[in-house]
């Protein structure tokens, strides 16, 4: 058995796995960023309902501030 050829084959397999995992991670990350920007998980009506459920009547300024904060963390 030629150990040099075996070692090179193993390195190619491991290298291919590492490159594939890295590429898959960045592609999935990019896809999720686009999806979340297009379909945000929370909107103004949800914020109003949440604050009303806590017994507060939110002003439009408070809602805009919360939306700005949420969008800041989404980017």
Q: What angle do CA 25, 26, 28 make, to 5 degrees?
A: 65
Q: What is the pLDDT of residue 14?
A: 98
Tens-place pLDDT, residues 12-55: 999 999 999 999 999 999 999 899 888 878 888 888 998 889 98
Contact 66, 47 (CB under 8 A): yes
Q: What is the pLDDT of residue 75?
A: 63
* pTM of the full structure: 0.59
The span from the CA of 45 to the CA of 7, in Å, is 60
Q: What is the pLDDT of residue 15?
A: 97
Q: What is the pLDDT of residue 38?
A: 87
CA dihedral sign of residues 64, 65, 69, 70: negative
**62: exposed, middle or buried (Cβ count in 10 Å: 0-12, 13-18, 19+):** middle
């Amino acid at each position: 058995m030629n150990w040099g050829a075996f070692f090179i084959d193993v390195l190619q397999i491991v290298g291919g796995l590492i490159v594939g995992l890295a590429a898959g991670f960045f592609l999935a990350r990019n896809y999720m960023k686009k999806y979340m920007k297009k379909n945000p998980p929370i909107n103004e009506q949800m914020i109003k309902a949440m604050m009303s459920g806590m017994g507060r009547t939110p002003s439009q300024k408070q809602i805009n501030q919360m939306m700005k904060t949420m969008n800041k963390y989404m980017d």
